[in-house]
Amino acid sequence: MQRIIDTENKPIKLWLKDIDNGAMEQAKNIANLPFVHSHIAVMPDAHMGYGMPIGGVMATDGVVVPNAVGVDIGCGMCAQKTSLRSLDSRQLKGIMRLIRKSVPVGFKHHGKPQDAHLMPKPVKQGVMLADLPVVSREYHNAMTQLGTLGGGNHFIEIQKGSDGFIWLMIHSGSRNLGYKVADFYNKLAIARAGGFGPAVPKNRQLAYLPIDSDEGRQYLREMEYCVAFALANRQLMMERVKEALQTVAGPIRFGECINIAHNYASFEIHFHKNVLVHRKGATSARKGETGIIPGSQGMPSYLVRGKGNRESFTSCSHGAGRKMGRKQARRSLDLKEERKKLEDQGILHAVRGRRDLDEAPGAYKDIDQVIENQLDLVEVIVTLRPLAVIKG
C-alpha cells in the first residue's frame, strides 16, 4: 500500500502515489456513501470511470451499486499455455489472418446465432431465463455476439512466456448484453433514488438498489448471467484461436484455461461481515489464486498468484490502467513514435492510423510500475511478452 487518506467518512487505501483528480474525487464520493463497509481500496491502475474509479474496490452492506460494477459486466481475461516454444513471423501472420476470419471485432457480430448449447444457463438454481427480463429480451441478439471481441481495449494476443512457451490471451466481456443490463438497472436505481433510504446526489452516478428488494435481487441475477456469458464469450473465442493456431502450426497440446473477471460484485466475508464486494476494473487475488494482469499493447502481461491481502479485500489491479483519455491520446501521441515502439520489438501490432492511438502503449501507465506497486497483493509467476495482437 502506498498511502491512506482519512479525511472522508471511510478511509481510502491507495496502491498508487499519483492518481488523477477525477478518480480521486470519485474515490472520495464512494468513501462517503452510508452503506460502505470498512474502507475503499484503490488499485495501482486506477483512473476515472463512471461513478466509481476503474481500479476501485468497494464493499457494501445491504445494497448493490450498478455503476460500481460497470457497463461491461463480467469483462475479464483468459490465458492458455500451449506446447509450442516458438512461432516465426510467417506463421504468426497466417494465424492472425485466420483469427480475423473467425472472430468478429469492433461492432461486428456473427451473421447468424451461434449454437444455443454454448449459451450459459441462469446461474442460480431454480431461476429460469424468463426470470431475467433484460437477458431474455436480448437473448437472441446475444447469440450472435457470442464469440466476438468487441472494441476499445479488448484484444487477442499471442505471447512468449518467461517459462519458454507460447501463450494465448484474450480480453473481452459481455458485449451489448452486459451494457443493456447495466443501463437498465442504473436507470431503475436512479428512478428509485430516495425511495429506499438516503439519497445519493444524482451527479455522482452512484444510485443503488437494496439487495433485499425485488429490483436488487433481479439485478444480481442478471449480473451473474452476464458474468457467465462473458466467460462463454471468451471461451468460444479461445477455441477459435486454438483452431487457427493448429491449422498453421500442427497438433498442439494446451494447458488449463485460466479465467478471471474484473467487473462484477460478489458476496464475501471481510472484516467479520458478509458484504457485497464491487470490483470495477479489479480482480480477485485470494491467497494462492492465479490471476492475469495484462499490459498495454506492446508491453508485457503477467500471470500472478494472489497473496490474500485483507486490506485490498483480496483484490489486485486488472491491467496497466490508462494515463490519458482516448481523445487526448489521439491528439497528443506521435503516431510514428508509437508504431516504432512496437516495430522495434518485432510485434505484429494494431496501431495503423491516428484513430488507433487511444490504444497505443503511450496511452497507458507503465505496467512494471503497476506491478511493483502491488507486490504486497500478488507475486509474479510468468511474464508474457507480446508477439502479435488483434485489437477490437
pLDDT on residue 27: 98
What count of other Cβ atoms lies within 10 Å of the Cβ of residue 239?
A: 14
Extract the C-alpha cell encoding 7. Answer: 479525511
Instruction: Give the model confidence (pLDDT) of 301-350 as tens digits.
Output: 999 999 999 999 999 999 999 998 899 999 999 998 999 888 989 899 88
Letter string b/e over residues 246-275, b meaning 16 or more CB atoms within 10 A of that residue's CB: eebbeeeeeeebbbbbbbbbeeeebeeeeb
| Residues involved in catalysis | 318
How many Cα atoms occupy the beta-carbon half-sphere of 321 within 13 Å?
A: 33
Which range, of 78-82, 253-257, 351-355, 376-380, averages the lowest pLDDT? 351-355
Q: In angstroms, rounded to a whole number, what is the distance separating the alpha carbons of residues 62 and 34?
A: 11
Within 8 A by CB and 6+ apart from 380, the residues are: 302, 303, 304, 371
pLDDT above 70 coverage of the chain, percent: 100
Domains and CATH numbers, the chain: 3-323+364-391 (3.90.1860.10)
Cell of 377: 497483493
> CB–CB of 208/215 below 8 Å?
no
* Three-state secondary-structure class, residue 196: coil
Query: Looking at the chain, which runs of residues are DSSP E strands?
Result: 3-5, 12-14, 36-47, 54-60, 63-64, 76-81, 155-161, 166-172, 209-210, 258-261, 263-270, 273-280, 282-284, 290-293, 301-306, 315-317, 378-391
Beta-carbon count within 10 A of 366 CB: 15
Query: Would you state the pLDDT for residue 123?
Result: 87
| pLDDT 10s digits, 263-305 | 999 999 999 999 999 999 999 999 999 999 999 888 999 999 9
Q: Is the overall model pTM greater than 0.85, yes or no?
A: yes
